[in-house]
Every structure is written in C-alpha cells, then in structure tokens.
Structure 1
Amino acid sequence: MWSHRAGRSSSRRTIGVLAVAATAVVASAPAATADERVPTAEYVVAFTGSPEAAAASVQAAGGTVQDVTEQVGVALVTSDSASFLADVRARDGVAGAARNHAVGTSDPGMPHRYADERPSAADRAGGGGRGHGGHPWGHGPASEPLAELQWNMEMIGATPDAAHRRATGKGVDVGIMDTGIDAGHPDLARNVDAARSRNFTTDIPDIDGPCEVAPSCVDPADVDDEGHGTHVAGIVAADDNGFGIGGVAPDATLVNVRAGQDSGYFFLYETVAALVYSAEIRLDVVNMSFYTDPWLYNCTSRDEYLEGTVTDDELAEQRLVRELLTGALGYASARGVTLVGSAGNESTNLAAPTRTDETSPDYPPDAAQPRVVANTCMNLPSEGPNVISVSAVGPSTTKADYSNYGLGDVEIAAPGGWYRDLVGTPAYMTAGNLVLSSYPLRAAIEQGLATPDGQPVDDMSVRYCDAAGVCGFYSYLQGTSMAAPHVAGVAALVIDEFGRPTRHGGRALAPAIVAQVLARTAEDHPCPAGGVEDYTDEERDPAVFNAVCEGTTDVNGLYGEGIVDAAAAVGGR
C-alpha cells in the first residue's frame, strides 16, 4: 500500500573522487566537439562505469566535474559548450545527462516559491475576522505558551496528555530536506544536530538574491534564508521547553539536509545528494515537502503527452529525473530511512487518467509550456517508491481545497491548515485556521512579515518573548508542506516507542513497519455524502476544486488510510 508506481557538503566520502580523476585526464582529453560557447550551465551526468572513466567522458565532451555522488552513479558538471549534452550522452559509460540549472538565468521580481502557502491579499481583505477564531479542537501541548493556537497538535493527539505520555521522539533522527533550518530559533536550538547538518546548495544570485556568504555563496548549515524549512522543522520537533510552541516529536533530533535554494527551487543533483547523505548517516526519517524542479510531472515518452509538445532533450531530462530520484529514494529506504512527502497543492486528482500542468518546466523562469499528460507521469519525490504521500486537512478534518488527492496515490492525511475552513463560523477565513510554526526572524523581516524591530505586521504571524527577554518568531502557513511533517513527526514517535536500540544510543525501525503502524492506527475518515467534496460554500469554483472521493471509509482518495493519529500510533489511546 505504501509503495508508489514504479558550494556543497564536503562530508560525502566520495566527493573528491571524480573531481580528482577529471584533473588527471585534462592534459590528454580532446577538445569539445563544438566551438560554440554559451553561458556556463550545470548538468547532471549519470554514469555506469568507474568514476575515472566517467571523468574522462565528461572532460572530452567539454565539461568540468564539480561534485560526485558515487553511491548512485551521478556527477554534477558545468560546461559552456553548446553541444555538451549531445556530446556527453554519446560517450561510453554515460547513462544519461540533463541540465541541473542555468547559472546565469535572471528573473528579477520572481514571485516567492511558497507564496501560495499564505492567503492572498484579496482573500485576507474578505476574511471573516482576525486571530484564532473558534475551532472544534482545544489546544496543543499544555506546557507551551502558544498551545492554544496549535489545534493541529490536539487533532492528532501529539500532546503531553496523549502521545507524549509514551513517546517524544528521543533518540530518533529526522532529516529536514528543505530550504534550511534556523538553528538559532529558541524552539529549535536544543534539537538541531549542527555537526551532521549539511547544505547541498549554492546560492544563485539571479534567483536567490545576493549571496549572504562571499565569495562561496554557500550558506552555513544552520541558517534558513527562506523560512519554509524552519516552519517544517518546528512542526516536527519544536522543543517542549516552556517557550512558544511544541512539536509532534519534541525530543527528536533534527538534521538539516538542505536541498532547496533560498528561492524555493529544488534542483536534481542537490536533491539526490541530500537523499544519499541521509542514507549514509542513517537518518531514521526524512521529510520532503517539495517537488523536484523543473518538472511537476516527469514523463518517459511522447505517448504520455496528450496535449502539448515536448522535445527529445526535455524527455531525456524527465527520464533522468525519474531514474535518479527513484534510485536515490530506494537507496535511502533500503538503509532504514522512512520517507515522507507532501502530495502537492494543485487540487489535482492524482488517480485520474490525466493531469493538467500549467507550470512545467518552471526553470528557467517563464519557460512553462502548458500540457496534459497521463497519470503515469510522476510527481517526485512524493510519488516515488516507499514514500508516504500526505494530503492536507483543515481544523474541521475536511480535505483542504488546495490539497492533491487520489485513491492509491495519497496514503494518509494530516493537518495542513485551510484558511477557508469552518465556513459559516467566526473562524472562517482567519489566520488561526492555518498551521503556526517557527520562522526565522531575518527571513520574516526581509519578506515583510515583520517590522525591522521584529514585530509582526499582521495577524499572520506571532512573536513570543519570555521573562528573560528571549524572543521567537512564528508564522501561519497552509499546505501539504505543513501536513507532511506531522506524519514525519509521528513516524519519529513510532520509532521511539517500537524501535530497537542502536549502538549509538538511538532507535531504529524498518520503514515498512513504521508505515504499517501509521496506516493501521490512522483515524478513518469517510467520503462525504454523495461522494463529492463540494467547495461552493467556501467560494471556490466547483469545476476546479470539487473533489470526487473514491474508496471506502477505511481507505479512500481524499484521506488515504485516514488522518494520522499520534496517540493511537504509540498506544496512547
């Protein structure tokens, strides 16, 4: 049930192998086959032979090896040769090649990648009120000052009087594969393992803004200039320390395995490298609240294109994304990593025969070509092997209008927030319907969420300060990005409760067993009467948002096995 269709870290043990080999063949390698030069771009090259042979092939085609992840046979390469892709694909030992991203592409004023996780200004102008409103759930962790704003923790029983009586995630390592973690946030500082955290990205000024770290443009592994990763991390494991909020697994260890740019892009090589590193250091859980750019759905043939056009290079790129991501996911799962992914925010029935895609390719910017593709074209990593794909519900437990769904594609549901939930009540279109979590103050100021002195500009954020004058910033977001870390946190509780001790003092449990426990203990949620979730009352276009619910109360397309239940998962109720 849980398997779907079939300046970087210097810590990886093989990082220098291919680069050294490339240096060794420079003197004897022939020149590139084309004299034409273009702006330098990054490429991902998959190889089947030795690193040395692959290095020679890359060099002969006019490329320079920058990095390697030998465990899955992939290298990061730069080239300014116009014919590099064609040349390197023709070389012995090269299984495939595709662009990673173009180094010099600029798009001034590019919208924030995760902008849709906050209600639009128009929506907020028409909202029903301010603040928390009235929710069917009480409060979250009783020991935390902002607990009354955490309906999400109460919904799934991740509270001191329920799941935390049995398990808190102690001894469990959770990787946050996102835009980073602000390790200085008061609710995260004690739980972040800085020594094992890594940043696999390099800032690209044209899309990420000016580099904060010169000249390398590689951020430290303890910062998050975007904010998304810190929000996700707080949901998983905000410290139960009497300050601010509490997380699902408040004693779990957080490891930042950053694969996302400041702008929110997740490029192929960085994602593969972060997955392989997560496996190498034997993380217990990895949360992946993103899809891998530039394709929302990755196809393998023209037969899967029902509308729209595609070039040979674009198909080769999509095939390579599938090959490398599924390989890296399999590598991680085989080494004990429980993988959790967000189902996406396109309001799409992933089980339908076709999928409409208006955004791909989303990089370079403004390159999108609208298309309709078959449902065999995969969203990755969420539809990859052994990934638990999560849909989102609001405070009412109804599937959020934005959330993707689909029988056989979504395995479980979790709180993701929904601004338009609880229509007809004072809570409708209030900030309290979203999920509150930790947020980096610097990012909040830069994004206009806070004033220069750290005060929230509106009710979409909260500032908490203790008696000693220590302050933390928190923001409300909605999305399947917020739903997935609830499941990742419960997975950590399950490993804490049922896992075997390791020689390093941690806990370990096979991903298949974790998935079985989550599925068996999830709170069943039936389909709506009539079989269609209708969002007309929420002022949504029925043709776009209405969701057909296939399946039974036990398992259906909107909620999968049901809403994750932390207390039941660890035997707390």
Structure 2
Amino acid sequence: MIRLGGDAKLDRTAILRWLQGAFAKPAYRAKRRIVRFRQHSDYKRFLHEWSELNAPPASRNTIRHLPAIEAFSLLLSDEEAAARHHQSIWIEDDPLVTVHATIHKPASREKGIPWGVGQIRAPQAWSTTTGHRIKVGVIDTGVDFSHPDLKHSLGRGINLLNRGSLPHDDNGHGTHIAGTIAAANQLRGMIGVAPRATVYPVKAFDQHGSAFVSDIILGIDWCVRNRMDIINMSFGMKTRSKSLLSAVTSAYNAGVIIIASSGNDGKRKSIDYPARYSQTISVAATNRMRRIALFSNRGAYIDVFAPGDKILSAWLNGKYNEMSGTSMATSHVSGAVALLLAHRPNLSPAEIKAILRRSMIPLRGTKAPRLTGELDVMRMLQAADR
C-alpha cells in the first residue's frame, strides 16, 4: 500500500496510483468512501492530473467527483481506507441514507384540501400568496411527471442515478412529497400547501428509497447552482457526516433554505442527520389531534412540528397513497416556506427559522408547549410582517 502522508506537499502521483489500484479491487472487498482534500491547491492540481489520467471507462464510472466539497467518492477496501493519517487528505465512509416514511397504503382519490394542508391554515393564505415563482428542490426518489395533480407544478429537475433520463419516480415517496408541497388540481384532485410553487425533482434515491451521501451532496450542489429557494430533505441517517455538513453549510451560506425531517424512531431526545445540523430547519410530526405522532423523533433539536400522520397525497401512475412519517411533515413546512418567500422574498434562512419558531401554536399533551409547536401559516405570515 502506498503511504499518502509525510510531506507537507501532496504527492499527487502517489494518489493517482493509489486511485488506480482502488479501481482494480473486487467490489466485494470494498465499500464506498469519500476522499476529500484538505488544501484547495492540492485539489486543483490533482483534478487536473486526474482529468488526464488514462483510466478505463469503467473506472471513470466508479468514481464520483464532488466539486462542491472538493472531494471524490469511490470504492475502497478497509486496508486502503486505513491510510487516513496524513496531512493532505482525509477519508470518511459514504453511507446509505434512507427516506423517512412508515407504512403506506393505497387511498381513494383525494379531492380538494387534504387535512394537513387545512390544519396548518394554508388555504387562508392563498388570497395573499400561493408560492408563485418559488423553486423547491426535492432531493428524493423522483416524481411521477404524468400525475394530473402535478403536471402544472413541476420543473425538469435532474436524475443523478441516470443522467440521460428525467427524474422519474420508481418508488412513490418523492411523488407524495411533491404533492403535499405544490399539487394544483383543486377541481378534480388534490391541492398542496403552495399550489403555484414549482417543484424540481432531484432523483438521488433509488427504487428502494436509498441513496449514498455522495448522491445527496451532488443533489445539494445542483440545487445551489440552479438557484433553488428551498431544498426539501425528507430523509436521514444516524451518523454525522462531515462531507454532508460541508455541502449543507455551503447551501445555507448561499441563502438556500434547507428543511429536513427528524426521523421515525420515536426518540425523545435525539433526531437524525441532516436535520440535526443547525443550518437546517428540523421538522417533527403531529397527528390530527395536534399531538406529537408516536413514531416521530422529537426533543430540543426540533424547530417546528407539522402534520405527518396518515397524510394522503399523490402516488405513482396518477394514484394516491396514505403515508405517515416525518417526511410528510417536512413537505408541509417546505410548502409553507414557499408561501412565505413568495410574500417576503428577501428573507434569509436564519430569519425564516426565527419567524417559524415565534409563530408556532402550542402542541397538545406536551409538558413544555412554549419550547416548540406546530406550524401555522397565517401566524407565520403575520410574524413576518411585524
């Protein structure tokens, strides 16, 4: 194994040979990891040499370039990854992340306003704001472009798993999220929280609802470069990722509002990442009774609660499904923030979080109602105007 340490200057030839060796390892001996450069100058020099590397086409498909965090994701064995004690690079796992939803079941056609949209008082705001021209990037499983309730609500987006294709949904979760945010078919179907906002599906998750952190980082980067106003992140993981935090921080510093779900483990003092990062708006779930849903993670890290229990929304093949999860709560908040941004377009992510936190209504059945509460769109808009 080549040592990658010692000198203050990066031995780029050593790393190129190391990467070539990593390409040749059998997949069963390796797992996906992120290799990140500590110095910008080393990254730029390496990027130039890597672009000229005469690697086999299969190798180039194996490695993922993550320009937003000056890193690469590739398959490395434990032995190769052990070479992390050096000055020029660091290595961390590139784990799988899963979407945040519990059991779903088919539902009959929804007409009009779903209960969650009504509970947060979105319809009362539509005479003032409908989310017009607000762009919401939904990093998820894609979307059903043919769904009649979504055909006026979608931008093209991107498919990170198959760059040549539209981000078609082969799971259903992303379509459900998009419906709650911006469905717009009130006469014949359902209507979402912000019916004139535009959802841009960013397909990073496969048909099983799983994605690597590196796919999510690429999705965040796409959202920033394509000037999304909001990123909906209805997924999470238990472990902290420096690489994901770096991408989230870059988006936050660019003025993008990131809304993330807390997780469905019923934990009382802990939530999943990326919702646990302070740069996100973290969302937990309530039921029709304005009580915390049993499955929802909760605690001091939560910024706001929203409806997430037995939420009916759009599904594959033009159908509808009922789902429960903090994913569903997060899509309500993304829609609400779209309404707010259309009304007050120059608010920063920090200002929006502060407005949400001071305009919530108390939860039922909680011992500390003042610490957190449920989303209320009308109170949110009033707080923004004060």
Name the TM-score, length of structure 1 as normaliser: 0.57
Question: 1:200 & 1:35 partners in 2: Cα distance?
Answer: 24
1:467-506 matched pairs, under 5 angstroms: 472-500=318-346
- 1:116 aligned partner: 102
Question: 2:24 & 2:144 partners in 1: Cα distance?
Answer: 45
1:242 aligned counterpart, secondary structure: coil
Amino acid at match of 2:35: V
Q: Is the 8 A contact 2:120 2:376 kept in 1?
A: yes
- Inter-CA distance 35–489: structure 2 relative to 1 (3 Å threshold): closer
- Inter-CA distance 35–334: structure 2 relative to 1 (3 Å threshold): closer
- 2:182 aligned partner: 237
| Residue of 112, 116, 137 corresponding to 1:147 | 112
| Residue of 207, 210, 227 corresponding to 1:265 | 210
- 1:18 aligned partner: none
1:286 aligned counterpart, secondary structure: strand
Amino acid at match of 2:104: R
Percent of aligned positions with the same letter in both sequences? 26
Question: 2:166 & 2:143 partners in 1: Cα distance?
Answer: 8
Deviation at 1:347, TM superposition (A): 0.6
- Provide Cα deviations, 1:517-555, integer angstroms capped at 9, x if missing partner: 222222222544xx4xxxxxxxxxxxxxxxxxxx3x321
Deviation at 1:57, TM superposition (A): 9.0
Deviation at 1:564, TM superposition (A): 0.5
1:149-188 matched pairs, under 5 angstroms: 150-159=114-123, 162-188=124-150
Question: 1:391 & 1:47 partners in 2: Cα distance?
Answer: 35
Amino acid at match of 1:67: R
Question: 1:411 & 1:519 partners in 2: Cα distance?
Answer: 6
1:198-209 matched pairs, under 5 angstroms: 198-201=158-161
1:50 aligned counterpart, secondary structure: helix
- Inter-CA distance 131–221: structure 2 relative to 1 (3 Å threshold): closer
Question: 2:99 & 2:68 partners in 1: Cα distance?
Answer: 31
- 1:73 aligned partner: 70
2:378 aligned counterpart, secondary structure: helix
Amino acid at match of 1:117: I
Q: Is the 8 A contact 1:163 1:568 kept in 2?
A: no
- 1:98 aligned partner: 93
1:50 aligns with 2:49: no
- Provide Cα deviations, 1:141-184, integer angstroms capped at 9, x if missing partner: xxx97126x1111111111xx11111100011111111111122
Amino acid at match of 1:147: G
- 1:135 aligned partner: none
- Inter-CA distance 163–399: structure 2 relative to 1 (3 Å threshold): same
- Inter-CA distance 35–257: structure 2 relative to 1 (3 Å threshold): closer
Amino acid at match of 1:95: W
- Inter-CA distance 180–43: structure 2 relative to 1 (3 Å threshold): same
Answer 1 or 2: which has greater helix percent: 2
- 1:86 aligned partner: 82
Q: Is the 8 A contact 1:47 1:54 kept in 2?
A: no
Amino acid at match of 2:149: D
1:497-536 matched pairs, under 5 angstroms: 497-500=343-346, 509-525=347-363, 527-528=365-366, 531=367
Q: Is the 8 A contact 1:175 1:255 kept in 2?
A: yes
| Residue of 292, 302, 320 corresponding to 1:410 | 302
Unpaired stretches in structure 2, ≥5 consecutive residues? 1-11
| Residue of 191, 200, 205 corresponding to 1:246 | 191
Amino acid at match of 1:477: M
Q: Is the 8 A contact 2:122 2:193 kept in 1?
A: yes
1:420-499 matched pairs, under 5 angstroms: 434-441=310-317, 472-499=318-345
Deviation at 1:71, TM superposition (A): 2.4
Amino acid at match of 1:297: T
Deviation at 1:342, TM superposition (A): 0.9
User: What value does the CA root-mean-square deviation take over the aligned residues?
Assistant: 3.4
Deviation at 1:131, TM superposition (A): 8.5
Question: 2:297 & 2:345 partners in 1: Cα distance?
Answer: 32
1:46 aligned counterpart, secondary structure: strand
1:288 aligns with 2:288: no
- 2:370 aligned partner: 554
Question: 1:219 & 1:176 partners in 2: Cα distance?
Answer: 19
Q: Is the 8 A contact 2:68 2:221 kept in 1?
A: yes
1:341 aligns with 2:260: yes
- Provide Cα deviations, 1:190-211, integer angstroms capped at 9, x if missing partner: 11111xx112235xxxxxxxxx
- Provide Cα deviations, 1:301-350, integer angstroms capped at 9, x if missing partner: xxxxxxxxxxxxxxxxxxxx2x1111111101111111111111101012
Question: 1:41 & 1:83 partners in 2: Cα distance?
Answer: 11
Question: 2:185 & 2:125 partners in 1: Cα distance?
Answer: 13
Report how many aligned residue pairs link the two structures: 361
1:221-232 matched pairs, under 5 angstroms: 221-232=166-177
Question: 1:82 & 1:156 partners in 2: Cα distance?
Answer: 49
- 1:312 aligned partner: none
Deviation at 1:46, TM superposition (A): 1.3
Q: Is the 8 A contact 2:133 2:198 kept in 1?
A: yes
1:147 aligned counterpart, secondary structure: coil
Q: Is the 8 A contact 1:174 1:283 kept in 2?
A: yes
- 2:282 aligned partner: 389
Question: 1:283 & 1:183 partners in 2: Cα distance?
Answer: 19
Question: 1:75 & 1:179 partners in 2: Cα distance?
Answer: 23
- Inter-CA distance 242–492: structure 2 relative to 1 (3 Å threshold): same
- Inter-CA distance 68–350: structure 2 relative to 1 (3 Å threshold): same
Q: Is the 8 A contact 2:111 2:187 kept in 1?
A: no
Q: Is the 8 A contact 2:107 2:321 kept in 1?
A: no
Deviation at 1:66, TM superposition (A): 2.6
- Inter-CA distance 74–131: structure 2 relative to 1 (3 Å threshold): closer
Amino acid at match of 2:126: H
